[in-house]
Amino acid sequence: MRRRPLSLALAVLAVAATATATTGASVAAPDTEVRTAGSPRWGACPQQDTQQDPQQKSSSRLECSTLQVPLDYGEPDGRRIEIAISRLASDKPAKRRGVLFINPGGPGGEGLDYPALLAPTLPQSVLDSYDVIGFDPRGVGRSTPVTCDLTPQQRQRGNFPQYAHTAADVLLETKHARTVARQCADSPTSWMLPHITTANTARDMDRVRAALGAPKLSYLGHSYGTHLGAVYTTLFPERSDRIVLDSNLGPNGYDRTAFRMLGRGMQERFPDFAAFAAAHPEYGLGDTPRQVTATFFRLAKRLDTHPVDGIDGTAFRGLTFDRLYSDALMPTLAKDWQALDQGKPVSPAPSTPENLMAGWLHVVCNDTRWPSRIRNYQRDATLDRLRYPMVGGSTGSIGPCAFWPEERVEPPVRITDRGPANVLMAQNERDPGTPLSGARKLRQAFGKRATMVTVDQGGHGVYPFGRNTCVNDTVTAFLTTGQRPPQDRACAAEPGK
């Protein structure tokens, strides 16, 4: 039975889709390679195997290269892997002040094309000030990739567990979780498995910085990219220039707690959609937000037992979660609900790319230890189903990290307030993928190092995708002048923008 894939939750696709919707250019690359002393050998960028419309890629100035780094930084002279990097160079040398590394999230998301994707939405003053540097993190895309030999059925299923209505449902889910974990451990790239971590990706970034001849790097990271940036500036505080973290995970990154908090994120974001649907009676989903909410639970319950063209209750919940990432997707979500309510199929979403899902698993399961006892997940699924009934039965349940190999190369990086005051955090108040509660914990961990700007709006991704001038001007000013608000700032909603 065909199922619509569930969200990768924080994956690159959601943030990148927001940026793509605002641009319309195409990527090309130089036909010749340019070699400068002490720098990578820049040349044509490889064709990317993405699901994005090629017409949405931009900038004929994008250049690409590769850099070899240690697989294990504990053995710096040992086995090497490749990191694919890209550069969108400033064409205003007199205004250029350094390099700006960017990351779209994930983990598992490719970032080689990200400079070209963001270029049409970044202010010209930012593009003038920096060479914008993209990269595929270790294990991902054009860098030396990992695999879990995931089958088409596993990829279609996604990385959310089946919604657990009972403890027995959690027990049933263990078979799938254990199988995927074993495939990752036995795959042809298992020699890389323990070394695919956020900390090692941060070390790779510092190797790239050094290869570029830059004494420091500035950074703009979205979603999971906020944790990568937080880890980098913790490991290398004196090599960090201006650090912008947008749509923030908590200080422990994408751990078990963060995955469970997706249930809270959806509960906080859903009222925005309920208000939208109630204001558009043509969809027939309810005349009030309360009625729209009741429609959600009615449809989920019905689809649990009577799927429509492969869309069951779990897939319906995941479809709804995905669409809440952007206000622009609300009409599409309303039409999908309308079709399913009438027993009609909706357009199938593509399955998750194998490397994206494998990369996600490697980082999430390696960075922190997840509980190994099944009864812990049975308890969590019961609690979260009551607290966050929309998706808590899925996010509280069990996944492959419960059965991940025991080997760990190092403990997680602890984010602290030690280092320069050079971090600016941007956060929507109603973000389904990285809820505000996690951002507040990261802000607290940074202490005097960070200032946070919150925005009274929903969705995933703030800068430069949105149109709120308060937050956009704040981030742009920090990147271009170094001026940062002296204290945390709350930006009001700007209706009509």
Helix (H), strand (E) at residue 67: strand 63-70
Query: Catalytic residue at 326?
Result: no
Query: Catalytic residue at 431?
Result: yes
User: 491, 463 in Cβ contact below 8 A?
Assistant: no
User: 263, 396 in Cβ contact below 8 A?
Assistant: yes
- Please tell me the distance from the alpha carbon of residue 196 to that of residue 182, in angstroms, as a whole number: 16
Q: Which residue type occupies 223?
A: S
Query: Catalytic residue at 362?
Result: no
* The one catalytic residue among 222, 227, 362, 460: 460
User: 118, 105 in Cβ contact below 8 A?
Assistant: no
- CA 391 vs CA 131, 261, 266, 403: distances in Å: 41, 10, 8, 22
> Across the beta sheet with 98-103, what order do the strands follow?
63-70, 80-88, 130-136, 98-103, 217-222, 240-246, 423-430, 450-458, 489-491
DSSP 338-357: HHHHTT---PPPPPPPHHHH
User: 15, 113 in Cβ contact below 8 A?
Assistant: no
What b/e string do you get for 9-27 counting C-beta neighbours within 10 Å, with b at 16 or more? bbbbbbbbbbbbebbeeeb
C-alpha torsion sign, points 134, 138, 142, 146? negative
* The one catalytic residue among 90, 218, 223, 247: 223
Per the structure block, which two tokens stand in for 310?
A: 């492969």
Q: Which residues are catalytic?
A: 223, 431, 460
